[in-house]
Amino acid sequence: MAELILGAVAFGVATPGVIIAFAECGKHIQKRIQTFNDAPAIVKELDKFGYELHQGKIKINLELAEWANSLDDIDQTIKDSIGAHINKLRAVVIEVEHCLSDMVDKNGQVRRFYFTFIGGRKAQRVVKVLKNWQNDFFNIIALIDMRNRVSRQDVSLPRSKYAPKHCTLLSSHPELFFGAAEVLRNREAQEISVLVERKQLFDANTISDIREIASILASRSLQNASGGGILKCLGYREQGNCAELVFEVPQCEDRPYLLSDAIISDRSKPYGGEYSLDSRYRIARQLCDTVIKVFSLGLVHKSIRTDTILLVIEEEKLDDKKHLDAPYFTSLGSPYLTTWTLLRKATGTTSGPGISGTIEDFYRHPKRQGIQPEQRYNFGHDIYSLGVCLLEIGLWEPFFISNNTTTLSALYKEVAVQQGFVKKIHADQIEQLTWPAIVPKVLLFLAQHVVPQRMGFAFSQLIVACLTCLEGGMGDPECFKKSRPEAATRFNDLISQSFTFTSA
């Protein structure tokens, strides 16, 4: 049936009737599943896909893609990517129908023996392919219109709209606080959990920057299709000599924590600690999607590190995963980017200095380190920082261990010395070990020679591409300066290929 309906889809999104054909397929999938008697949970996931295709978010995005394809001022690389994703969708819809056909007998009864040994695994694989497709396609859709990203609004938080109840420092991060507050919604007070980013005010420009950042973040819906993303910004307020950005935290099973703390807490346990490979692949994929989300707003983050990534175990998603007994269920939670006070427009002049010799510098591209950075900041610099974080996830060992003093990991120092990047007499000198010319060499060696045995070759190659993106690791490095949509499309294709064989 699906093959008959989609007979014209291979010609591309511009073909008349393509969106209607996909919607009809979604409706057909839903009706087919409704005939199942006592359908397994994994089949109900396919039913959700049918709904989204028939009248939900996928249908809306396909219509947006059709509209974008008709415009002359949309980058051709985006149009080409849309076409490729439309053809992938055609193939996967046909595979869904075949999967459903094989699963039941003529009376609508699930073939339990077949499902147990073949059908269940096949359905799980199809669901994984569908979710990966949705992640990739939604990222492309987010890049369609980069001209109307932000609508300015008043996002100040007076006492009448926002009343903090209690707030404590989140881990050892000096600027992040977690707690509870009352907000006014529909004329009623509601208690919520909040994350507060506190920044010292130095001059009038600081509060102006905070106000603009709050307006940018409050103006968009910033959840990833894959989970995680950017917390909902409620606004900002001034508190004495400080300004605060306030974010709403989803209802969570436990107190949120930083990714860096999760990794550090596992370092004394046997390799891998308590978290599965699937859970680490999943947060890695979600982080990649979040970086694209930031870029789709026409922005650069400038502060991506494992200690600026918040992990939230959301109650609703936790219940869903327990119910479905999903293979990717984990207590790690979903990752959200924090620490937004360096946020800037991607087209803006963002050549301000870093702080030489700090942990923050370690996650920056060598040409963005020190008090006089060599390059203006662009999307590629965010991807480099992401690559360092992905490497830390792949190794599942912290680069920095903070006690009374901050020290580099033994693995990092061992590679730096053994490979001759630093002399043995400098093995305990953090200034030598973190010299801008040394760091990328050590990181690349770890990505190429240690990560494959822990997370696989595809994940290793993703990290290498991120760390070398500004030197040609993702193709022509000039795309980060000349064609930002091309850079984002290349990155989206890269992460799609990298996670093809995982459950992320």
Residue 322: pLDDT over 50: no
C-alpha Rg value of the chain to the nearest Å = 24
Kindly report the three-state secondary structure assignment for every residue of 328-343: CCCCCCEEEECCCCCC
Helix, strand counts (H, E) of the chain: 20, 13
pLDDT band at 489 (very low <50, low <70, confident <90, very high): confident
DSSP state of 413: H
Kindly report the three-state secondary structure assignment for every residue of 153-177: CCCECCCCCEEEEEEEECCCCCCEE
Residue 319's pLDDT is: 45
Residue 146: pLDDT over 60: no
Place of tokens 């190429």: 448
Q: Which of 482, 282, 450 has its CA nearest to residue 379? A: 482
Residue 220's pLDDT is: 65
Predicted TM-score of the model (pTM): 0.79
101 or 192: which leads in pLDDT: 192
**Mean pLDDT of all residues in 441-465:** 96
pLDDT (tens digit, 9 = 90+) per residue, 383-399?
A: 999 999 999 999 999 99
Residues 9 and 86: beta-carbon distance below 8 Å: yes
pLDDT (tens digit, 9 = 90+) per residue, 404-417?
A: 557 889 999 999 99
Cβ neighbours, 10 Å, residue 148: 7
Percent helix, strand and coil across the chain, each to the nearest 5: 50, 15, 35
Residue 392's pLDDT is: 96
> Quick one: tokens of 443?
């990181």
- 408 φ, ψ (degrees, to nearest 5): -80, 155
End-to-end CA distance of the chain: 30
pLDDT band at 488 (very low <50, low <70, confident <90, very high): confident
Residue 347's pLDDT is: 59
Which architecture characterizes domain 162-249 according to CATH?
A: 2-Layer Sandwich (3.30)
pLDDT band at 77 (very low <50, low <70, confident <90, very high): confident
**Mean pLDDT of all residues in 300-308:** 92
Torsion over CA: 423, 426, 429, 431 (sign): negative
Residue 350: pLDDT over 60: no
